[in-house]
Amino acid sequence: MSRRLVITADDLGRDAGSTQVIAGLLAAGHVTAATLITVTPESAPAAALARRLGVVPHLHVTLTSERDLAPWRPLSDGASLVDDSGALPPDPVVVAERAGAADVVAEMDAQLAWMRGQGVSPRAADSHTGVLYGLSGRSLLADALPWCARHGLAFRLPRDPRPWWGGPLPAPLAAAHEQAVALADSLGVPLPATVVTNRRSAGELGGYEALRATMLAALAGLPEGTSELFLHPSRPDAVPGPAGIVRGWEARLLRDPVWHRALAAEGIELVSRWWP
């Protein structure tokens, strides 16, 4: 068995600057997949751009707004998903506490239907800000995974979480992860072998070279099978503050000849999906 890697650019449709950068990376072949946010003013132009590029993004299930942008509104009528203004809260902890399972499923249905209506029918899904995974509180995987099975979607949940976490999961989280993987397997929902990303801030990294070193080490540690690397490339000015700096570094990494030479030296095959 060989090592294969899906390189995914998250947040197509988040804002015009991010969409522009991701489109350029897709056109250049520097990423092999993308995720699309469906609830923003930029969602429709981003979907049209994906169609022109011949790319079918994954559904980036979005249940939160972004603090630096005008609030987003859901595509369904779920009262438990919104704040007093009718918008998605920016805090994933609030969403995890308040969201009703039926409202979450209805919103996922609406976001999937919207994508299909735009002429891009996704084959995989994942969760913006990790809300579905329980990273900010209550897990919604018991609802999300059957939903994926009903719609024939793969899901971004690593079989081996250690490369993403940076080591073994804490015992309660490890048990929950094992149950989720077993549920996905029982439902026939395809999962990647592992998932890697950058979880460090600009202050923690200190500079671009530290980000590149971290990602090069992650390449060397990839297991057999098909894994996914997801990043959030953008222009630094498109996302205010330190987060924008990191997103700019991630875009730079994906264009970096050192990165591309490392992929070749590791013998890693780039692919666009982890499902059959």
Q: What is the pLDDT of residue 136?
A: 81
Cβ atoms of 15 and 39 within 8 Å: the answer is: no
Distance between CA atoms of residues 60 and 128, nearest Å = 6
The residues pairing with 13 across neighbouring beta strands, listed in sequence order, are none
**Side-chain half-sphere CA neighbours of 264 within 13 A:** 6
The closest alpha carbon to 80, from 72, 89, 71, belongs to 89
Residue 1: what pLDDT?
65
What length does the chain have? 276
Structural domains in the chain, sorted by start: 3-271 (3.20.20.370)
pTM for the structure as a whole: 0.97
User: Parallel, antiparallel, or unpaired: how do β-strands 33-36 and 269-271 relate?
Assistant: unpaired
- Give the model's pLDDT for residue 211: 98
Helix (H) or strand (E) holding 45: helix 43-53
DSSP 90-146: S-HHHHHHH--HHHHHHHHHHHHHHHHHTT---SEEEEGGGGGGTTTSS--HHHHHH
pLDDT, one tens digit for every residue, the chain (276 residues)? 699 999 999 999 999 999 999 999 999 999 999 999 999 999 999 999 999 999 999 999 999 999 999 999 999 999 999 999 999 999 999 999 999 999 999 999 999 999 999 999 999 999 999 999 988 889 999 999 999 999 999 999 999 999 999 899 999 889 999 999 999 999 999 999 999 999 999 999 999 999 999 999 999 999 999 999 999 999 999 999 999 999 999 999 999 999 999 999 999 999 999 999
Q: Are 148 and 155 in contact (CB under 8 A)?
A: yes
CA end-to-end span of the chain: 15
Alpha helices in 118-256 (DSSP H): 141-151, 162-165, 171-187, 202-205, 208-220, 242-255
What pLDDT was estimated at residue 226? 98
Q: What is the pLDDT of residue 30?
A: 98
| Whole-angstrom distance, CA of residue 240 vs CA of residue 33 | 25
* Token digits of residue 116: 């299909």
